[in-house]
Amino acid sequence: MSQREITYAKAINEAMSEEMRRDKEIFFMGEDIGIYGGAFGVSVGMIEEFGETRVRDTPISEAAIIGAAAGAAATGSRPIAEIQFSDFISIGIDQLGNQAAKMRYMFGGRAQVPMVVRAPIGSGTGAAAQHSQSQEAWYCHIPGLKVVTPSTPYDAKGLLKSAIRDNNPVVFLEQKLLYRKKGLVPDEEYTIPLCKGEIKREGTDLSIISWGRMVPMVLEVAEKLAKEKKCEIEVIDPRTLMPLDKQIIIDSVKKTGKAMIVHEAVLTGGYGGEIAAVIADSEAFFHLDAPIRRVGGFDVPIPYNPELERNAVPTPERIEANIRELLQ
């Protein structure tokens, strides 16, 4: 495949646009996504191509956005709903968790709810406590939802196309600081299957499981330690958190004998605890020669002050210090 370098935001834009050209039942809705092009510029140019019927600016009501998407999906459309900040999915949690997630089950499989809720997640932009949370564990706790967290432009495009084609509700979480990150993306059509993780870096000494913005950070630390000839770290990106590709994690930990989970969300109740349980409940447990280590955000609201904000979540320095301690 021929490739070109584009941003994570552009990859998402391409995925939506290509799918909307392919299927007339797909439409896109959210706050300021039309003429303004979205809070982070992801949908620039889409209203000019698809018009106001298929790229719909909505009122400032997350309950209305998610509720309308669920109703439209149940009656034959395939909506993509953008929530301007993931923190405010909570305002539509009844529509998402009690309606969209449950409908297929409650109708014995005769109803489908093919909708995608896209939302920027996480810290790093100085947006303070109400606009900077990482709540992926909330959505993973709701049966009936699929939860996707791409870490590269390539993954973002391929996974979003698969999410749009899926007949179940998908929560698609995009870390804000990744929007301007560039990466190689094929010119040709491709998709990435949901529920399949990827080994981002091969290694033999330690398995680190991470997702979203933490993946490039972990890879940076892994390369630094490799150059110092300290260790070779294997980096696993689940990409889809729910349903989770458990086998890729289990196989990696069996190989390396050590496991660390790194996520931006606060440590208490974070999804890293679920992954630790997956390892502990599997044959990988008998290959461990050190306790499973979790590195997450501190249990505080995200501060506005930039230095405090940076240190409220894992940093390269903290990740490296935990690796060195675990490998002693």
Quote the pLDDT of residue 229.
Answer: 87
Statement to judge: residues 142 and 7 lie in one domain: yes
User: Structurally, how many domains does the chain consist of?
Assistant: 2
In a domain, 193, yes or no: no
Tens-place pLDDT, residues 203-227:
999 999 999 999 999 999 999 999 9
Tens-place pLDDT, residues 169-215:
999 999 999 999 999 999 999 999 999 999 999 999 999 999 999 99
Statement to judge: residues 86 and 66 lie in one domain: yes
Q: What is the CATH number of the domain that holds 161?
A: 3.40.50.970
Statement to judge: residues 117 and 236 lie in one domain: no
Tens-place pLDDT, residues 143-158:
999 999 999 999 999 9
> What pLDDT band is residue 93 in, cutting at 50, 70 and 90?
very high
Q: Which residues lie closer than 8 Å to 299 by C-beta, 6 or more apart?
A: 266, 267, 268
Statement to judge: residues 170 and 219 lie in one domain: no
Statement to judge: residues 45 and 136 lie in one domain: yes
Q: Which residues lie closer than 8 Å to 167 by C-beta, 6 or more apart?
A: 104, 112, 113, 114
In a domain, 242, yes or no: yes
CB 64, CB 94: distance < 8 Å: no
Q: What is the CATH number of the domain that holds 205?
A: 3.40.50.920
Q: Which domain holds residue 175?
A: 3-186
Quote the pLDDT of residue 230.
Answer: 84
In a domain, 93, yes or no: yes
Q: Is the pLDDT of residue 295 over 90?
A: yes
Statement to judge: residues 254 and 122 lie in one domain: no
Statement to judge: residues 170 and 205 lie in one domain: no
Statement to judge: residues 8 and 80 lie in one domain: yes
Q: Is the pLDDT of residue 1 over 80?
A: no
Q: Which residues are catalytically annotated?
A: 131
Statement to judge: residues 119 and 236 lie in one domain: no
In a domain, 191, yes or no: no
**Token pair listed for 320:** 């490296």
